[in-house]
Amino acid sequence: MVDKQYVYFFGEGTRDMKKLLGGKGANLSEMTNIGLPVPPGFTITTETCILFNELGKKYPDGLEEQIDGNLKKLEDKMGMRFNDKENPLLVSVRSGAAVSMPGMMDTVLNLGLNDETVMTLIQKSGNERFGWDSYRRFIQMFGDVVMGVAHEKFEHAIHAKKTEKNAKVDTDLTANDLKELVDDYKKIIKDEKGTSFPQDPKTQLKMAIDAVFDSWNNKRAITYRNLNGIPHDLGTGVNVQTMVFGNMGNHSGTGVAFSRSPSTGENKEYGEYLINAQGEDVVAGTRTPQSISKLKDEMPAIYNQLMDIFKKLEIHYKDMQDMEFTFQEGRLFMLQTRTGKRTAAAALQVAVDMVNEGLIDKKTAVMRVEPAQIDQLLHKQLDKKAQGMAQLIAKGLPASPGGAVGMVVFHADDAVEEAKKGKKVILVRTETSPEDIEGMATAQGILTARGGMTSHAAVVARGMGKSCVAGCEEIRVFERKEYFTAKDIKVNKGDWITLDGSTGQVYLGQIPVVDAELSGNFGIFMKWVDEFRKLGVRANADTPKDSEVALKFGAAGIGLCRTEHMFFEASRIKAVRKMIVARNEKDRRDALMTLLPFQKQDFIEIFEVMQGLPVTIRLLDPPLHEFLPTDDSDIEELAKELGLEFDELKNTINSLHEINPMMGHRGCRLPITYPEILEMQTRAIIEASIELTKKGIIVKPEIMIPVVGIANEVKLLKGQIVEISDELIKKNNVKLEYKVGTMIEVPRACLIADEIAAEAEFFSFGTNDLTQLTFGFSRDDSGKFLPEYINKGILEKDPFATLDREGVGELVKLAVQRGRKTRSNLKIGICGEHGGDPASVEFCHIIGMDYVSCSPFRVPIARLAAAQAALRN
Ligand code: ADP
Ligand code: MG
Ligand code: MG
């Protein structure tokens, strides 16, 4: 039987073998294959690592022979040998998994040095200092990462040596000082481990390889994998590679570079190098590296060769590369290449440029930009440098992206007041409620101590495209006393804070923000995106202003217009309250009639903005008590306005209190008890439509009934809507088409979707409520336990953020099938928060919905996610 291949010489693998060889190994092979100058070496596979650990840290049969064979091959190729008197081979041992993973073993350089080979190295290079410096670096790295001696011990020794010799920096130490240091280091190892530093290169190599295998299961690596959802059975490869020396003098050096700018995407090399340096010196920050453009003057031959290689690698990999290189006495070597990480702006620029250069096609370009990156482009961002130095005081949920700076206020009214004075404020509250809408709209950002990713604050802030950190359990808010605390820090009204809604971080003081700027690339790129997607993308918008934003971001209509938000405006809330506390139908009707013109005007404005695109309007949904005051003083004031006794009003308000309002008197249950609410809203919608139709403006209203679970609910309410609408249309003698449909957000509605579809002309899945009711998780309270569910691995993701395909998704699928069985042309969409989440959008594509609807600022994200879903499935 032929042994399994555990070891691949550079050149035997290809870039497609990342899983087996690790990213570093696969690309070292690939670069070798395309003729780039890569110091020869070999890769031990990731499978070997797993086997080694499974076998209780033993080599599988044949591995030792394969390592020996490849080492011999390397020695022959280089004309160098381990321990050779004239040409001693030195190697690096480098770990490398399939995915880039900090936590694995650090690289060991200069392996093969010992008391004898160091003398040869000195003799050959004619550089005594270089020899001893390489040797002491090797013992230090080997002692630390292979033998497990605390690195402080070595640092302490070098520090002591510097003090003793009056040396300011490492480079002030002479050859002789370094030679003495080698002895000190050896003694440290002996004292700490009871064994000597191994002199035999083969023993050194075996120990280093084993240490790499071991490091796969060190604590750091396991934690990192857990945090990033990386499987534990991938294993790491081990690369053994001939050393090249950037520290051989002034014609040697080492550097890292990107083939294009990872910051802007500009097609210009970007990177740094250091003369007379080795390995990590460039990133270690002991000396300040030079910009790569300087190399052009200093070493033009090397520079030109490097530029040719950058170009060659880009054409080969068809993507921007992040590379490591070293030059030894004027000879260039490539040590690593990989796909370069980049900012959102750079991702867009590179994608568009590469299509224009003919390097990639549009499909590839569309797949290359992460939907989440688009988010970065649409919102203000904190200045990264300043952010790094600012004082972080708490961390909450990244509820709505973007940076915000302002002075703290604790009441929505204050936010409005201060904003009028031209001040920038951040509204800080334990949690927000619908009453706070205006204050939220005028604040720069919102910070709440309680509530999850779909809490009121989070949903409203996202809708407004406003920065929000929610559920920040580390702070305590004292609204009445007007301060909040974060651990032992007290923040008063008027103090400045900064929020990073993209990460959930809260800082004391002001961090500069950079405006979002949409480049021409954005438009070009989004046009390509639209060529591939099948799903329509609409927006959830309640105001003409939101509708404008939605349109600007490419929404194909409004998928959810929530009418209750229109009720909270100062000019209307009085009439709303009057309507709610009315004792009889007549009073209620009177109050509603004062609301009608307002509501009608709202719709006229939204329809005008939307220019003939469909607008789905949801009838009043929330429990009525949400509109009523809770403070006695406010009740007193309202009682006066309405000409009621305080006690009387207070009783009415109390009687409206519900134990479980989200499952109470809300949604379609409101018009079933109070038909006049539906009547007013239908009239407002249809009269607005008629008025515009008469002016020659096309209007496509879609009236949506929320929270249905019973077919008869729809039958009854639809009947009323149609009767009112048709009469108005007939009376005005216009041609107007409208639709009546339902939200699907109660599990029962999914099960009887076939019956509902007999009445409803469209379905829109309200997946927030559907998730809440399917799991039986209260959305507003889930912040208390859901994080623990994620920590303990009970749930992989927050189901309110990413649609749960197994449970909620099955219900949705069922409803789509049953609904379409009754009505084949049933229009189906989703308007929950999930409509802007890329993984959920993919699900909607797969099950064949017509559209997704999300907050205006997420429209571009949903468009991209929809295109990627179509290309992937
Ligand atoms: P990391 O994954 O942390 O980047 P690497 O294995 O890439 O670790 O190596 C760390 C540093 O050592 C890099 O700067 C790399 O270029 C350098 N290096 C690795 N192997 C060699 C070698 N054979 N000759 C010279 N420098 C090397
Ligand atoms: Mg590297
Ligand atoms: Mg709902």
Please enumerate in sequence order all residues whose Cβ is within 8 A of that of 272, keeping only pairs 6 or more positions apart, or say none.
255, 256, 257, 282, 289, 290, 291, 292
Please tell me the residue having the least CA distance from ligand 1 atom 22: 243
Rounded Cα distance, 126 and 754, in Å: 87
Per residue in 210-251, pLDDT tens?
999 999 998 888 888 877 778 889 999 999 999 999 988 889
Q: What is the CA(241)–ligand 1 centre distance, in A?
A: 9
DSSP characters over 383-450 = -HHHHHHSEEEEE-EEEE-SEEEEEEESSHHHHHHHHHTT--EEEEESS--GGGHHHHHHSSEEEESS
Instruction: From 372, 378, 500, select the one nearest 446 (Cα to Cα).
Output: 500
Cross-strand partners of 744: 765
Q: Which of 10, 239, 324 to mutate to test the pocket of ligand 1 (most atoms within 8 A of CB)?
A: 324
Other Cβ atoms less than 10 A from the Cβ of 223: the count is: 11
Separation of alpha carbons 402 and 461, rounded Å = 11
Which one, of 63, 195, 204, 89, lies nearest residue 138 by Cα? Answer: 204
Weakly modelled stretches of the chain, pLDDT under 50: none
φ/ψ (deg, to 5) at 156: -60, -40
Q: Which residues pair with 496 in a beta bridge?
A: 407
Q: Which ligand is nearest to the CA of 254?
A: 1
CA distances from 538 to 125, 361, 754, 767, 839 (A): 69, 27, 25, 15, 17
Exposure string of 826-859, with b = 16+ CB inside 10 Å and e = fewer, is bbbbbbbbbbbbbebbbbbbebebbbbbbbbbbb
Is 271 close to ligand 1, i.e. is its CB under 6 Å away? no
At 2 the pLDDT is: 61
Q: Write the residue with the smallest CA distance to atom 23 of ligand 1.
A: 243
All residues with CB under 5 Å from ion ligand 2? 336
φ, ψ for residue 100, nearest 5 deg: -60, 130
User: What 3-state DSSP class applies to 227?
Assistant: helix
The verdict on the CB of residue 336 being under 6 Å from ligand 1 is yes
Quick check: 371 and 845 in contact, CB under 8 A? no
Our answer to whether residue 750 is catalytic in this structure is no
Q: Which residue, among 380, 370, 359, 333, has the nearest Cα to 260 in the 3D structure?
A: 359
What is the four-CA torsion angle of 228, 229, 233, 236, rounded to 10 degrees? Answer: -20
Residue 464: name the closest of 430, 432, 418 by CA: 432
Q: Which ligand is nearest to the CA of 771?
A: 3
For residue 565, the model assigns a pLDDT of 78
Question: Residue 335: nearest ligand to its CA?
Answer: 1
Backbone angles phi, psi at 116, to 5 degrees: -90, -50
CA 572-573-577 angle, to 5 degrees, is: 125
The token pair at 296 is: 């052009």
Q: Is 854 a catalytic residue?
A: no
Q: Which residue has the tokens 């249905």?
A: 708
Token duo for residue 851:
């559209």
Pocket test for ligand 1, best of 80, 95, 107 (most atoms within 8 A of CB): 107
Cα 107 to middle of ligand 1, angstroms:
6
| Sign of the Cα pseudo-torsion (600, 606, 608, 610, in order) | negative
Angstrom CA distances, 523 to 79, 370, 536, 552, 785, stand at 57, 16, 18, 11, 42
What's the pLDDT score for residue 803?
97
DSSP string computed for 40-105: -EEEE-HHHHHHHHHTTS-PPTTHHHHHHHHHHHHHHHHT-BTT-SSSB--EEEEEEESS--BTBP
List alpha helices for 674-710, DSSP H: 675-694
- Strand-strand pairing, 397-400 and 851-854: unpaired
pTM higher than the cut 0.85: no
Cα 711 to Cα 747: distance, rounded to the nearest angstrom:
13
CA 177 to CA 872: how far, in whole Å? 61
Cβ-Cβ contacts under 8 Å for 203 (sequence gap 6 or more): none
Question: For residue range 372-414, what is the model confidence (pLDDT) as tens digits?
Answer: 888 878 888 898 889 989 999 999 988 888 999 999 999 999 9
Give the span between the Cα atoms of 545 and 612, in whole angstroms.
Answer: 17
Please report the atom of ligand 1 found closest to the CA of residue 94.
Answer: 6
Of ligand 1's atoms, which has the minimum distance to the CA of residue 39? 23
3-state secondary structure of 635: helix
Distance of CA 209 to the CA centre of its chain: 36
pLDDT value for 443: 95
Cβ count within 10 A of residue 729: 18
Pick the catalytic residue from 49, 472, 831, 844. 831
Nearest alpha carbon, ligand 1 atom 11: 279
Q: How far is the CA of 703 from the centre of ligand 3 (A)?
A: 15
612: its two tokens: 């003939």
Nearest-angstrom CA–CA distance, 487 and 712: 54
Question: Of 674, 658, 652, which is closest to residue 626 (Cα–Cα)?
Answer: 658
CB contact at 8 A, 836 and 855: yes
What pLDDT sits at residue 456?
82
Answer yes or no: are the C-beta atoms of 99 and 230 closer than 8 Å: yes
Q: Where are the alpha helices (DSSP H) in 169-319?
A: 175-193, 201-215, 219-228, 281-284, 292-298, 300-317
pLDDT of residue 308: 96
On whether the CB atoms of residues 792 and 856 are closer than 8 A, the answer is no
CA dihedral in degrees (453, 455, 458, 462; nearest 10)?
Answer: 100
pLDDT in the model for residue 792: 85
Residue with the nearest Cα to atom 20 of ligand 1?
Answer: 92
Q: What is the number of residues in the chain?
A: 873
25 lines ligand 1 (CB under 6 A): no
Nearest CA to ligand 1 atom 9: 107
| Ion ligand 3, residues whose Cβ is below 5 A away | 745, 766, 769
User: How confident is the model at residue 813, as a pLDDT?
Assistant: 98
